[in-house]
């Protein structure tokens, strides 16, 4: 056993794989989704060419680059920094779309560009009518930005799978009535539509609401996962039981901070232990949701205003 004073923040022990990454590669949320009857709470089907699967705008492959181009790694690295500073707020740090600017890896202009012959003039002139100012940049900085954009475009061209993002129409396919039934069965043990979730749809909508539903984090978006109050009870071979706040856990080691503030750890092979995680129910539910279930529960949550 190792006994040391606990110092600073405890090591984060829960790391969730981003569900959107799987969605981005796979299209529909789960292959196991089945048909479900639509009642009075059903959302209207998405417009033609939108919504689930390959009909969604998010699933359309980026236009192929007309003239493949290669740039030195150093120039691309410089362009990454310059792009983040000058363009990232609108177009995203990866050029994949941001607060107000489109995804440049899907831009026909970028696909047709040859070493800045189209990107350069546009950057210098701007598109004031669409909120894009004109940029006055040294040629070396502008060419570095061009190199970075083309590098990101090449990665998008070679990406496996059709999706890179989620279209809002993909989320509006659920049945609120069915979602309430699912909620009452699986969620009402911990949550209440008139209690902790009252008005949730006025605070979160669409994708952020779905993300919170699937991967809740105390403190909201950007909060430190290590602040999740997980406790652990460790039973030694001698029969002694120690309980405390979970400090670290992997396949080899379990560690806690006891009531005296000391951090104690043991090899997992030498003890038995149980972890009380208030968010474990959400993790368990991920293995049970079908595609339809997720959208149905989301549709129900969107009625809680």
What CATH number did the domain enclosing 85 receive? 1.10.760.10
Where does the pLDDT of residue 297 fall: very low under 50, low under 70, confident under 90, or very high at 90 and above? Answer: very high
Domain count, the chain: 3
Burial group, residue 31, by CB count within 10 angstroms (0-12, 13-18, 19+):
exposed
For the segment 186-218, what is each residue's pLDDT rounded down to a tens digit?
999 889 999 989 999 998 888 888 888 887 765
Question: Across all residues in the chain, what is the average pLDDT?
Answer: 76
- Residues with Cβ < 8 Å from 257, sequence gap 6 or more? 6, 10, 244, 245, 247, 263, 264
For the segment 107-164, what is each residue's pLDDT rounded down to a tens digit?
899 999 999 999 999 998 888 888 888 888 899 999 999 999 999 988 887 766 555 5
Q: What is the pLDDT of residue 144?
A: 94
For the segment 65-118, what is each residue's pLDDT rounded down to a tens digit?
888 889 999 999 999 988 988 888 788 878 887 667 888 988 899 999 999 999
CA dihedral 33, 35, 36, 41 (to 10 degrees): 90
Q: Label the pairing between strands 253-257 and 241-249.
A: antiparallel
Which one of 102, 134, 158 terminates a domain? 158
Where does the pLDDT of residue 59 fall: very low under 50, low under 70, confident under 90, or very high at 90 and above? Answer: low
Structural domain boundaries, residue 247: 2-12+225-278
Same domain flag for 32 and 91:
no
pTM higher than 0.95, yes or no?
no
Same domain flag for 180 and 220:
yes
Same domain flag for 99 and 174:
no
Q: What is the pLDDT of residue 18?
A: 35
Same domain flag for 99 and 183:
no
SS3 2: strand
């Amino acid at each position: 056993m190792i006994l040391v004073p606990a110092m600073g923040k405890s090591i984060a022990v829960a790391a969730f794989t981003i569900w959107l990454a799987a969605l981005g590669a796979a299209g529909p949320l789960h292959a196991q989704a089945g048909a479900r009857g639509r009642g009075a709470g059903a959302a209207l089907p998405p417009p033609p060419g939108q919504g689930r699967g390959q009909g969604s705008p998010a699933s359309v492959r980026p236009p192929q680059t007309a003239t493949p181009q290669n740039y030195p790694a150093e120039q691309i690295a410089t362009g990454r920094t310059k792009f983040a500073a000058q363009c990232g707020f609108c177009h995203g740090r990866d050029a994949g779309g941001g607060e107000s600017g489109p995804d440049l890896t899907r831009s026909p202009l970028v696909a047709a560009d040859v070493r800045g012959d189209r990107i350069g003039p546009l950057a210098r002139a701007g598109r004031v009518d669409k909120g894009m100012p004109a940029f006055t940049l040294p040629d070396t900085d502008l060419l570095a930005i061009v190199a970075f954009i083309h590098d990101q475009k090449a990665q998008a061209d070679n990406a496996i799978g059709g999706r890179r993002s989620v279209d809002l129409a993909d989320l509006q396919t659920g049945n609120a009535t069915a979602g309430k039934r699912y909620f009452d069965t699986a969620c009402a043990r911990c949550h209440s539509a008139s209690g902790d979730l009252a008005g949730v749809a006025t605070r979160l909508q669409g994708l952020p609401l779905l993300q919170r539903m699937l991967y809740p984090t105390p403190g909201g978006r950007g909060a430190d996962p290590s602040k999740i109050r997980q406790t652990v009870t460790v039973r030694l071979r001698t029969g002694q039981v120690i309980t405390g706040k979970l400090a670290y856990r992997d396949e080899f080691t379990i560690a806690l901070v006891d009531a005296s503030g000391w951090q104690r750890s043991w090899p997992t092979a030498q003890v038995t232990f149980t972890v009380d995680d208030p968010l474990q129910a959400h993790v368990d539910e991920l293995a049970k949701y079908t595609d339809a279930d997720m959208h149905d529960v989301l549709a129900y949550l969107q009625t809680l205003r």
